[in-house]
Chains A and B, each alone.
Chain A
Amino acid sequence: MSDTEFRGPLERVDDCCWRIPRAYKPGMRVDGLVFADDRLVEDLRSDQALEQVANVAFLPGIQVASLAMPDIHWGYGFCIGGVCATDPEEGGVISPGGVGYDINCGVRLVRTSLSLEDVRLTMPRLVDQLMRDIPVGVGERGKYSFDMGALRALLREGVPFLRGRGLATAADVDQCEAGGCIPDAVPDNLSARALERGTDQCGTVGAGNHFVEVQVVDRVEDAVAAEAMGLRAGQVCVLIHSGSRGLGYQVCDDALRVLRDAPARYGVELPDRQLACAPIASPEGQHYLGAMRAAANYAFCNRQLLMWQVREVFARVFGRPWKDLGMELVYDVAHNIAKLERHRTGNVAKTLCVHRKGATRAFPAGHPDLPTRYRSIGQPVIIPGDMGRASWVLVGGPRSMERSFGTTCHGAGRAMSRTAAKREARGRDIRDELHRAGVVARARSREGLAEEQPAAYKDVDVVVDVVHRAGLSSKVARLRPLGVLKG
């Protein structure tokens, strides 16, 4: 990929942070800052991810720096792992590309009272039952369908709407980022096409890197935080990764269509069409914000309904109600979203629009937006790794507010392209390899396991180590996979 290699300057700030100086390209309003250690930085120059960090620095109203987390990789417009905060008072913009097509793609972790010994023999049957009962893969419809009135209420109210229908508990609502509802969502801002795509997909996994995984807590690194989350070594958990499905993709696509000529109209020069944006205060900006929030609420509901179905499968396989199996939600985080939040830049407190494109909010202990249960330990952060090695639970770190607008990484980050991963998998049986490593894996498509094989991702332990050392978030527990359901 030599034609796409980054040849710009990359200066060391400290042992886990690098700078692309503003002087690199005329038009950059701030520096780029990339969190990575010496191991990760070596591979970063090989594609356009760093160029994308520099491009985001062009956005009007951007504050402090265009940031990238250590799981950074080449995306479209924004890099994956990108963070950008803009100030509405300074003509700051909102860019749908800074959220992505899968609005509020995110993860949720469910704990159980089961131990590794309880599931060891049941795992193949459990994963097969999950595969039968949970819609996963391209073109699959969900078992919940909502008429237009109900869909609009769901988009406006988020998970509390499902609670009213007996599909969520009070604790499920409380243990979600933003209580499972981003306020000021405007379902009327969604096109007929977006609504049409939303009627039968709530409660479906999708494909690509989305999954449902049965995991076991491998080791606990912070006993106090783990206890607050109800986690202990040897405990079985379920991790769910999905987003707003076709409804969210359509909202993003519609917004980019509306914004095609907005940069020229507002006098904004951009190096990439995918960064199309409009001032937050403009009619276009407000319209997108209202629609994006509605799609974000749909995503919270999608993960809630996936968890609900997982609970039902466990109850069936283990012959006990899910409550008896201790299947409580630990936390649900968004990692593709833009939110208005209070932050300090210098000595001034401001309301900023924080874009997180493949990055997770990581508020530290004491932050007023956290549920009471977690206020003393910091916000739980859930980092899916790959299906062969590990995933992590972290908490918001002490330096996240000053260094990264209260943000940390969102996953391991891809190390290999999809085509390269498929090439690597030729002649191999990934399902069998995983089986020998103690992981029962099932995928609907022929590409699912090959493109998502463990080697296609960076080592999540290395990524998490960087955000831990940088003070963005702190390690709580490492989990390893036992059973995997893929699209």
Chain B
Amino acid sequence: MYEIFEHTADLGLRARAVTLRELCEESALGLMEIITGDLAQLRTVDALRFIVQGRDPALLLLDWLAELLHVFATRRMLFARFEVDVSDVPNGLSALAHGEPYDPARHVLAHEVKAITYHDLEVRQSCGGWDATMVVDI
């Protein structure tokens, strides 16, 4: 699960999951929710493959979300479903993201996300699973 929380000028994103793999999926859904305001308007007709390297879970998560921002910025791709795998890439993740290109005729977007910031960036593992907190620059 994920939730969007208050931050004065920007938006906070918190995600919780049992595994790191699911944490990466939930965080990505949270990011897409911030951009689109409503994931239900997206069809999952296209898919794109990502590979992201990183040893530190917090930085890996940040780099994964930065890849999604990059693909939106340059190819206008938005996603509503993710399948992340952290076992088949040593020190990293691979992901299949399902969505479609932004279409101004059908989509109303909510926020331009400038970046995922390092401020208060935290990924924690506890007995109950994984937690991530980050601030998204709007």
Contact = CB atoms under 8 A, between A and B. Distances in A.
Contact of B35 (A80, A138, A272): A138
Interface string A223-252: 000000000000000000000001001101
Contacts of B37: 445-447
B4 interface: yes
A273 B117 CA distance: 9
A101 interface: yes
Interface in B47-83: 59, 66, 70, 72-74, 76
A253 B8 CA distance: 21
Highest count of chain B CB atoms <10 Å: which of A74, A97, A206, A414: A74
A40 B108 CA distance: 36
Interface stretch (A56-64, A314-322, A415-423, A464-472): A415-423
A208 B8 contact: no
A285 interface: no
B17 interface: no
A276 interface: yes
A101 B113 CA distance: 10
B9 A256 contact: no
A417 B8 contact: yes
Contacts of A75: 8-10, 119
B7 A74 contact: yes
B32 to A, nearest CB: 12
Given A253-B66, A274-B118, A197 B109 contact: no
A102 interface: yes
B137 A74 contact: no
Contacts of A420: 6
A137 interface: yes
Contact of B110 (A97, A101, A252, A447): A447
Contacts of B130: none
Nearest to B9: A414
Contact of B119 (A76, A196, A206, A487): A76
Interface of A is mostly: loop
A466 to B, nearest CB: 19
Contacts of A102: 114
B138 interface: yes
Interface residues of B, number: 34
A76 to B, nearest CB: 3
Interface string B16-48: 000000000000000000010100000000000
B86 interface: no
A374 to B, nearest CB: 31
Contacts of B7: 74, 417-418
A207 interface: yes
Contacts of A170: none
A47 interface: yes
B110 A273 contact: no
Contacts of B114: 101-102, 208, 249
Nearest to A249: B114
B115 interface: yes
B121 A273 contact: yes
A138 B117 contact: no
Interface in A90-135: 97, 100-102
Contacts of A417: 6-9
Contacts of A74: 7-9
A260 interface: yes
B138 A208 contact: yes
Contact of B115 (A1, A101, A137, A444): A101
Contacts of A1: 6
B118 A256 contact: yes
Contact of B135 (A73, A76, A139, A419): A76
Interface in B80-131: 102, 104, 108-112, 114-115, 117-121
Q: Which of B7, B102, B108 has the most CB of A within 10 A?
A: B7
Contacts of B35: 138
B114 to A, nearest CB: 4
B115 A253 contact: yes
A97 B10 CA distance: 15
Contacts of B112: 137-139, 206-208, 487
Nearest to A415: B8
Nearest to A447: B110
Given A73-B9, A139-B109, A207-B112, A246 B118 contact: no
Instruction: Kindly name the residue among B9, B37, B102, B108 whose own CB sees the greatest number of chain A CB atoms within 10 A.
Output: B9
Given A101-B115, A272-B118, 15 more contacts: A74-B7, A74-B9, A75-B8, A77-B119, A100-B137, A138-B35, A138-B109, A139-B102, A196-B74, A207-B111, A273-B118, A276-B118, A418-B7, A420-B6, A445-B109
17 contacts: A75-B9, A76-B119, A97-B118, A101-B117, A137-B112, A139-B104, A207-B112, A208-B138, A249-B115, A260-B59, A272-B120, A274-B117, A417-B7, A417-B8, A419-B4, A419-B11, A447-B37
Interface of A: 1, 47, 49, 73-77, 80, 97, 100-102, 137-140, 193, 196-197, 206-208, 246, 249-250, 252-253, 256, 260, 272-274, 276, 414, 416-420, 444-447, 487
